[in-house]
């Protein structure tokens, strides 16, 4: 049995894509989203309060002339010009969300938060934002070390997962938040070991290729979520072993992860099973 994430909302609402973190992975995700959405309606917002530093040029999506400028601003302005579409940005830290009155973070149906952050505080803030009752946006979280990484998708805490699996059409409306799937995301990262190799120092604690791989995976999640063909909830990348492993969405997996019983997760439904269009590979009306 294959469970698909329901894309009903994207059939009536253009997606609102919010990229939180424009560093290694987020910068390439932002550009990839613009390509993915060419000719399609959507709203894109880039969030990052860091400025570009010289050492970022090796593995982030910036150029020499960007040094000293805000990452979100310089990227938003460049992509807006290149792709001829408006792109919003914010230089307010995501973690002070509660105090913020800007328009971009207000709930809109069809909102997808793409977390490309590297710290537990930002993930905690995103989790609180996404899991507010009735808001229903999706959170795709990317995180990586030097030669491994993971992409996770979710939108609810365990208490809100009741009845989110519609048996019959085999459609899914709710999945556990990335931080519920992997509670270690909320723990501080271990201290990096001291490095003495000049290349390692120059690159920081990540290789220059892993961010491209991570961005590709994130974009595949966004594409499938919007198109109605997403059937995984987690993907693990291991560049040391050369493997990509995805976790299929099943109520059993969610039950194991959250302790919520399968019979509480699943409800019978007479809604028709969506068909994937033979021409474009999407689920649409
Ligand atoms: Zn079609």
Given a cut of 70, is residue 99 above it in pLDDT?
Answer: no
**CA 7 / ligand 1 centre spacing (Å):** 14
With tokens 């698909």, the residue in question is: 4
Q: What is the mean pLDDT of the chain?
A: 89
Task: Indicate the pLDDT class of residue 125, thresholds 50, 70 and 90.
Answer: confident
- Residue 278 lies inside a defined structural domain of this protein: no
pTM of the model: 0.93
pLDDT of residue 93: 79
**CA 231 / ligand 1 centre spacing (Å):** 19
- Residue 146 lies inside a defined structural domain of this protein: yes
**CA 256 / ligand 1 centre spacing (Å):** 36
- Residue 194 lies inside a defined structural domain of this protein: yes
Task: Indicate the pLDDT class of residue 30, thresholds 50, 70 and 90.
Answer: very high
131-152 tens-digit pLDDT: 876 556 899 999 999 889 999 9
Of 193-202, 216-225, 234-243, the poorest mean pLDDT is in 193-202
pLDDT of residue 101: 46
- Residue 205 lies inside a defined structural domain of this protein: yes
**CA 273 / ligand 1 centre spacing (Å):** 16
**CA 112 / ligand 1 centre spacing (Å):** 22
- Residue 283 lies inside a defined structural domain of this protein: no
Task: Indicate the pLDDT class of residue 268, thresholds 50, 70 and 90.
Answer: very high
Domain total for the chain? 1
Mean pLDDT within 167-186: 94
CATH code, domain with 231:
3.40.50.720
Q: Where in the sequence is the domain holding 155, given as residue range(s)? A: 4-268
- Residue 221 lies inside a defined structural domain of this protein: yes
- Residue 81 lies inside a defined structural domain of this protein: yes
- Residue 180 lies inside a defined structural domain of this protein: yes
**CA 8 / ligand 1 centre spacing (Å):** 15
């Amino acid at each position: 049995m294959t469970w698909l994430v329901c894309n009903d909302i994207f059939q009536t609402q253009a997606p609102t894509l919010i990229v939180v973190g424009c560093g290694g992975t987020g910068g390439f995700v932002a550009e990839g989203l613009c390509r993915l959405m060419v000719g399609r309606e959507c709203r894109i917002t880039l969030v990052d309060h860091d400025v570009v530093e010289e050492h970022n040029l090796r593995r982030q999506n910036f150029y020499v002339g960007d040094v000293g400028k805000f990452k979100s601003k310089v990227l938003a302005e460049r992509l807006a010009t290149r792709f001829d579409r408006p792109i919003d940005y914010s230089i307010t830290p995501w973690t002070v969300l509660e105090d913020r009155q800007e328009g971009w973070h207000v709930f809109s149906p069809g909102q997808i938060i793409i977390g490309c952050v590297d710290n537990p505080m930002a993930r905690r803030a995103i989790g609180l934002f996404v899991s507010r009752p009735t808001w229903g946006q999706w959170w795709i979280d990317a995180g990586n070390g030097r030669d491994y990484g993971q992409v996770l998708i979710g939108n609810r805490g365990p208490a809100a997962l009741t009845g989110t699996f519609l048996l019959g059409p085999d459609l899914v409306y709710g999945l556990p938040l990335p931080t519920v799937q992997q509670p270690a995301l909320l723990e501080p990262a271990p201290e990096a070991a001291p490095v003495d190799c000049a290349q390692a120092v120059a690159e920081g604690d990540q290789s220059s290729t892993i961010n491209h791989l991570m961005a590709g995976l994130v974009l595949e999640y966004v594409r499938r979520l919007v198109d109605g063909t997403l059937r995984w909830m987690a993907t693990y990348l291991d560049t040391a072993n050369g493997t990509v492993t995805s976790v299929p969405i099943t109520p059993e997996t969610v039950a194991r992860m959250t302790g919520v019983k399968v019979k509480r997760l699943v409800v019978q439904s007479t809604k028709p099973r969506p068909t994937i269009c033979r021409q474009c590979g999407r689920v649409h009306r």
